[in-house]
């Protein structure tokens, strides 16, 4: 026997589901705004709530779709934030912040169709990758500089130990000690 479905009840249930999804997105943005490491620039970037609320309301699988362009944009913005040494620098001098703000402008204007969102997601992803590479290079340079300082420190220690071993307790003319300290020590360290 066919199951009878009351159209009014179905419409009411679908409306309740849409309101619940909208509430979830609004709650998510409420939590994001209160995060302890939320910066002004990231909060500005994440002002995509209107398209997100609309998409979450209309698309039942929105929270499950990791590759949805809006989710990709939000994820990439949060990831991008971690590469910024001074995330709340003056917006007039922060070129990265200006670039992201410019990329997100179509969304703020209400242009939230899939093609526009995918293009923005791709651009934000490319920018994040670029910043990630720059950050990685900076870390590598700092690591190399630290390793170099450590090698110099170890070389100085080895030279000092060797000079102490060779000349400890021996009478050395003052001119020899001066030559060793002024020139030979540096040459040996190199």
Q: If you search the block for the tokens 């990758």, which residue do you land on?
A: 129
Model pTM greater than 0.75?
Answer: no
Which range is most confident: 84-88, 107-111, 142-146? 142-146
Q: How confident is the model at residue 32 (pLDDT cuts 50, 70, 90)?
A: low
Instruction: Give the end-to-end CA distance of the chain in Å, rounded to a whole number.
Output: 93
Contact 89, 98 (CB under 8 A): no
- Tokens at residue 55, please? 């998409």
Contact 103, 127 (CB under 8 A): yes
- Tokens at residue 181, please? 């300290």
Q: Is 132 exposed, middle or buried (0-12, 13-18, 19+ CB in 10 A)?
A: middle
Cα–Cα distance between 84 and 114 in angstroms, integer?
29
pLDDT of residue 17: 83
Q: If you search the block for the tokens 């989710």, which residue do you land on?
A: 71
Tens digit of pLDDT for each residue in 87-139? 677 777 888 888 888 888 888 787 778 888 899 999 999 999 999 999 899 99
* Mean pLDDT estimate for the chain: 80
User: Angle CA(10)–CA(24)–CA(49) in degrees, nearest 5?
Assistant: 110
């Amino acid at each position: 026997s066919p199951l009878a479905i009351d159209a009014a009840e179905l419409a009411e249930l679908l409306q309740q589901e849409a309101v619940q999804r909208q509430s979830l997105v609004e709650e998510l943005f409420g939590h994001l705004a209160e995060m302890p490491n939320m910066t002004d620039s990231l909060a500005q970037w994440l002002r995509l709530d209107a398209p997100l609320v609309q998409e979450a309301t209309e698309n039942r699988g929105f929270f499950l779709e990791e590759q949805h362009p809006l989710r990709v944009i939000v994820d990439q913005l949060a990831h991008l934030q971690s590469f910024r040494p001074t995330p709340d620098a003056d917006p007039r001098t922060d070129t990265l912040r200006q670039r992201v703000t410019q990329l997100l402008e179509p969304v703020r204007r209400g242009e939230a169709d899939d093609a526009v969102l995918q293009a923005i997601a791709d651009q934000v992803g490319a920018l994040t990758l670029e910043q990630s590479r720059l950050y990685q290079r900076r870390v590598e340079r700092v690591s190399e500089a630290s390793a170099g300082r450590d090698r110099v420190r170890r070389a100085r220690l080895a030279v000092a130990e060797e000079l102490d071993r060779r000349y400890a307790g021996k009478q050395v003319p003052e001119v020899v000690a001066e030559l060793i300290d002024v020139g030979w020590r540096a040459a040996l360290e190199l």
